[in-house]
């Protein structure tokens, strides 16, 4: 065993984050660590990386007992960590980002040429191509992820912890990353992979340790298990099977007609987009992020002014209307970036729940506190939002819980039309189940939903019809019955399915 963690316990006051957790890692192994938010994965890894001290328990590397007081100690023992939020310096070059802390050069001088050379060799050695002189700020997230991995390799790590490495990557980048991890494991590096995405685990992991409520609920060989068993071990119960009734589309609630959005003089960001959403159906918009989905959302919700075309909501032209007017006409919007558009981190859970209702819940210009608190309490209860109180600041909620609050708030308006953009990005499967269930329920209640997601499985699971966007255009529309991942992937890359057949 390369790494053994025995009976790790971590208590924060009355709260036990880890209870006698055993975890081990073999050389050259990819070991997935799964569990819902708050199950104790992050705590365990923070202990391993020297960022937290365990209440009790033993860590052994290569059979020798070790204590990590700081990350520097962990790095010394060959443990590297790639954090969920990248720890990079945007205005520095790739080479500078990799060598920082152990810069080459003599007598205090930083030899940048040498650094670029070292990084070039490193990237060749491990088959992860990067341009050492490029600025991090100009790199895609996929490349940034690669830089993070090269950085821990440069630091001499043999054990690499990846915390939610694929959350922000496009499907293609995810594929490349997983291939790179497999390659490195074949070269003798060992990985601990923390993720919510079970299909990725089934793809690359050798073994899986499942945590729930701070305890290990299973250590499994990937070959002997399946996604269902894993989710049961994670959640502690069977997940509800979705019975999707065939859709009975009613009247058109959203009509996007030849919408063009031009930014500057270049190519249009949206090029003559036309699509309709009817009552009682979910229309999925698939596509690699950055192909015009964000702009489409902004065009519909009134956040951006369109140059050509019309947007009609429940038969009324809202092209020139303000965001407030459009919302009043019957639009709710679960935004794609919950921190930027969806919530105010410094405001309380109560205030975040009230947003959008403040004009309805007022009398003589004052907010009706009792009525509003009851409403937010309902959101919290029906969606199972885990929060200590309504006064907690929103930024202290985990991503999944904040997202549940936002979804509850937006669906609570009871509007005939809902935009759900990346409704489950970065949330655990329990929260995902809740959110998907509620979206389907809204569909049963004859609401129209436009679902925008870069997760193909989500699109396929929920949608009745699927449109695919590429480069600001709609490249195809499919009924879900005829849609396959292959067909959609082809359209997402700008291909044409009809030319194939």
Partner 1 sequence: MDQFLDISLFNSTIRMVTPILLAALGGALCARVGFFNVALEGMILTGAFTAIVGNHFFGNVWLAVLFAAGCVTLFSWLLAFISLHLKANEIIVGISFNFLAAGLTTFTLRALFDVKGAYYDKNMTGLPTWNIPEVQDIPVLGGIISGHSPLVYLAFLLAAVMQYYLFKTKSGFRLLASGENPVAAQSLGIKVRRIQYGAILASGLLCGLAGAQLSLGQVTMFSEGMTGGRGFIALVATMLGQNNPLGVVASSLLFGFMDAISIRLQGFSLPTHFTLMLPFVVTLIAMFFFKDKSYLQHSNKINGRS
Q: Applying CB under 8 A, which residues contact partner 1? A: 70-72, 75, 83, 86-92, 96, 100-101, 103, 105, 108-110
Q: Which is nearer to partner 1, 73 or 485 (CB)?
A: 73
**Which of 91/389 has CB closer to partner 1?**
91
- If the CB atoms of residues 86 and 341 are measured against partner 1, the closer one turns out to be 86
Cβ-based nearer residue to partner 1, 97 or 301: 97
Whole-angstrom Cα Rg for the chain: 24
Q: How far is CA 258 from CA 216, 356, 373, in A?
A: 54, 29, 43
Backbone angles phi, psi at 298, to 5 degrees: -65, -35
Residue 79's CB: how many other CB atoms inside 10 A? Answer: 28
- Three-state secondary structure call for residue 130: coil
Q: How far apart are CA 169 and CA 148, in angstroms?
A: 14
Q: Check: CB of residue 8 under 8 Å from CB of residue 183.
A: no
Task: Give 12 or 89: the residue with its C-beta nearer to partner 1.
Answer: 89
Please state the separation of Cα 169 from the chain's center in Å.
9
Contacts for 402 with CB less than 8 Å, ≥ 6 apart: 338, 342, 343, 352, 394
Question: Is the separation of the CB atoms in 128 and 139 below 8 Å?
Answer: no
Residues ≥6 apart with Cβ < 8 Å to 159: 2, 3, 25, 61, 78, 79, 80, 189, 190, 191, 192
CB of residue 121 to partner 1, shortest distance in Å: 20
Cα distance between residue 101 and residue 116, in whole Å: 15
- Of 70 and 322, which has the nearer Cβ to partner 1? 70
Q: In the complex with partner 1, which residue's Cβ is closer, 58 or 87?
A: 87
**Residue 270: phi, psi to the nearest 5?**
-125, 130
CB of 111 to partner 1, least distance (A): 9
Residue 404 CB-density burial (10 A; 0-12 exposed, 13-18 middle, 19+ buried): buried
Which of residues 149 and 418 has its CB atom nearest to partner 1 in the complex?
149
DSSP state of 348: B
Q: 286, 451 in Cβ contact below 8 A?
A: no
């Amino acid at each position: 065993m390369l790494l053994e963690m025995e009976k790790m316990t971590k208590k924060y006051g009355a709260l036990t984050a880890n209870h006698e957790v055993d975890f081990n890692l073999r050389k050259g192994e990819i070991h997935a660590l799964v569990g819902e938010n708050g199950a104790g994965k992050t705590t365990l890894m923070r202990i391993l990386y020297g960022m937290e001290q365990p209440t009790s328990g033993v860590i052994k590397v290569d059979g020798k007992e070790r204590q990590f007081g700081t990350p520097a100690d962990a790095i010394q023992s060959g443990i590297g960590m790639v954090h969920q939020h990248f720890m990079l310096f945007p205005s520095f070059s790739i080479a500078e980002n990799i060598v920082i802390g152990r810069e080459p050069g003599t007598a205090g001088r930083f030899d940048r040429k040498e650094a670029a050379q070292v990084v070039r060799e490193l990237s060749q050695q491990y088959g992860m191509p990067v341009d050492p002189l490029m600025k991090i700020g100009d790199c895609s997230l996929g490349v940034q992820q690669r830089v993070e991995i090269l950085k821990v390799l440069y630091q001499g790590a043999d054990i690499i912890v990846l915390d939610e490495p694929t959350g922000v990557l496009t499907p293609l980048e995810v594929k490349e990353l997983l291939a790179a991890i497999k390659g490195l494991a074949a070269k003798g590096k060992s990985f601990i992979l923390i993720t919510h995405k079970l299909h990725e685990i089934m793809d690359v992991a050798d073994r899986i340790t499942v945590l729930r409520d701070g305890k290990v609920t299973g250590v499994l060989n990937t070959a002997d298990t399946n996604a269902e068993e894993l989710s049961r071990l994670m959640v502690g119960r069977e997940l509800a099977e979705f019975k999707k009734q065939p859709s009975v589309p009613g009247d058109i609630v959203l009509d996007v007609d030849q919408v063009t959005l031009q930014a500057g003089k270049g190519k249009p960001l949206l090029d003559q987009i036309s699509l309709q959403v009817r009552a009682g159906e979910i229309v999925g918009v698939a596509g690699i992020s950055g192909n015009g989905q964000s702009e489409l959302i902004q065009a519909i919700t009134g956040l951006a002014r369109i140059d050509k075309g019309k947007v009609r909501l429940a038969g009324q032209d809202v092209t020139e209307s303000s965001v407030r007017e459009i919302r009043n006409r019957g639009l709710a919007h679960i935004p794609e970036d919950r921190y930027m558009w969806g919530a105010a981190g410094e405001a309380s859970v109560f205030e975040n729940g009230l947003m959008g209702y403040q004009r309805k819940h007022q009398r003589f210009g004052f907010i009706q506190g009792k009525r509003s608190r009851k409403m937010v309490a309902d959101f919290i209860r029906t969606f199972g939002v885990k929060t200590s109180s309504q006064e907690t600041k929103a930024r202290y909620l985990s991503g999944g819980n904040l997202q549940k609050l936002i979804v509850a708030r937006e669906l609570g308006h009871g509007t005939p039309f809902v935009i759900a953009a990346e409704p489950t990005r970065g949330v655990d499967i329990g929260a995902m189940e809740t959110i998907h269930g509620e979206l389907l329920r809204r569909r049963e209640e004859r609401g129209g939903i436009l679902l925008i997601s870069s997760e193909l499985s989500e699109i396929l699971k929920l949608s009745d019809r699927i449109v695919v966007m590429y480069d600001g255009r709609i490249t195809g529309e499919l009924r879900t019955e005829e849609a396959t991942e292959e067909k959609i992937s082809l359209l997402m890359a700008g291909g044409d399915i009809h030319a194939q057949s």
